[in-house]
Amino acid sequence: MAEIVLKSAFVRVGSSAALVAVSTAVRSVNINYSVDLQDKTAMGSSGRARIGGLKDWTVAIEFNQDYATTTIDGDFFTYLGSTGQFIAVRPTSGVRAAGNADYVGTLGMIDSYTPINNAVGDLATFTMTWNCADGKPMQRVVAAT
């Protein structure tokens, strides 16, 4: 097993037709991929039985704020409530491959944007979360493009 120190995660966001790499502004990234567990325990069972139900995903990214570029503040301001937001994250900026898969959400929705939320002397940062909005599970893509 090859452990890595996450130093160069590659992040692309936007519409599938106009993806923008925003990696240079990313401070941290968190992908949460989950499934609703449904209880299927029946009478006579001595323990719980479960089955996987609907899958869900969120991607939370903390960014360094940049009010001068349209990519960071300008574009993100317009993403709020839009369901057409594609997001792809991979562990390194290297080529997509088996050891550097893209984790892809095809249509995400952003429910909030806090462009200013820092105290005096703080670096201006913000966190944005993409939520699954199209009913499709997250994809793990390993084929090179």
Terminal alpha carbon distance of the chain = 25
* pLDDT of 53: 96
Would residue 1 count as lying in a domain?
A: no
Write the DSSP string, 21-42.
Answer: E-GGGEEEEEEEEEEEEEE---
Residue 4 maps to a domain: no
Is there a domain that residue 2 lies in?
A: no
What's the burial of 127, exposed, middle or buried (CB within 10 Å: 0-12/13-18/19+)? middle
Assigned domain for 3 exists: no
pLDDT digits (tens, 9 = 90+) for 30-72: 999 999 999 999 999 999 999 999 999 999 999 999 888 677 8
Average pLDDT, rounded, for the chain: 90
Nearest to 62 by CA among 89, 83, 35, 84: 89
Structure confidence at residue 82 as a pLDDT band (50, 70, 90): confident
By the 10 Å C-beta count (0-12 exposed, 13-18 middle, 19+ buried), 36 is classed as exposed
Question: Whole domain around residue 103: which residue ranges?
Answer: 10-37+49-141
Three-class DSSP category at 69: coil
Collapse the DSSP code of 77 into the 3-class scheme (helix H, G, I; strand E, B; otherwise coil) and give the result. helix
Rounded to whole angstroms, the maximal C-alpha distance in the chain is 65
Distance CA 137, CA 106 (A): 9
Number of domains within the chain: 1
Q: Rounded to two decimals, what is the model's pTM?
A: 0.87
Q: Look-up: residue for tokens 């996450």?
A: 6
